[in-house]
Amino acid sequence: MQGTYTAFVGQRRLASGTAGDVALAVKRATQSLDQPIIIFDDGTGRSIDFDLRGDDREVLARLAKLAPPPSEEAEAPAEPRGRGRPKLGVVAREVTLLPRHWEWLNAQAGGASVALRKLVDEARRASGDKDRERQARDAAYHFMSTIAGNLPQFEEASRALFADDRRRFTGLIADWPTDIRDHIVKLAYSDRA
């Protein structure tokens, strides 16, 4: 769901899709609506603001200039680059380990860097599903907190969400407004059909 956005007017879904699609739908809606509109990043469940000034072309041009989210493979360092292989996306960082850890790493084929990369890749493969489930749950909770925090049984529903009790969770939110309920379920469980 990364790269998609959803806008809500009160308890009603206004638009869902790419940043451009949602921004233009919100821009048009603000001309005829007097209610606040909240735009959510579906990947995080957090609200986000788009600069809607100017004509459609200007709005879309500004959105195109927004930097894409940092990739998982390489994040830009906060300080100037030093050692490492920048052309390959390798960035030197500091890692603090005990001497026995360094001895083991240095004894591995390829040395400490190769061994650490292999360990990280293996851990990512092993915990990938759990990480995606956690991110989906967190996104659902952030959205839910913003738009449904005053709805009945919010606290109990939050506990069921974090306990991964899908049956109880969907039962607790069954009477919530349809668009809100459906979007929460989509954020929380769409990857685990």
- Which pLDDT does position 125 carry in this prediction? 80
Instruction: Round the CA-based radius of gyration of the chain to a whole number and report it.
Output: 22
Within 8 A by CB and 6+ apart from 131, the residues are 124
Residues 49, 17 contacting (CB under 8 angstroms): no
66, 123: one domain:
no
| 115 within a domain of the structure (yes/no) | yes
pTM of the model: 0.70
Residue 28 token pair: 């048009």
Percent of the chain with pLDDT strictly greater than 70: 84
Q: Which token pair is 7?
A: 């806008």
Please count the structural domains in the chain: 2
Report if residue 35 sits inside a domain: yes
Q: Say if residue 112 is in the same domain as residue 174.
A: yes
Total Cβ atoms within 10 A of residue 147: 22
The secondary structure element, H or E, covering residue 34 is none
Could you tell me the pLDDT band of residue 74, with boundaries at 50, 70 and 90?
very low
* Domain boundary pick from 53, 70, 87: 70
Per the structure, the complete domain to which residue 49 belongs is given by 1-70
The answer to whether residue 88 is domain-embedded is no
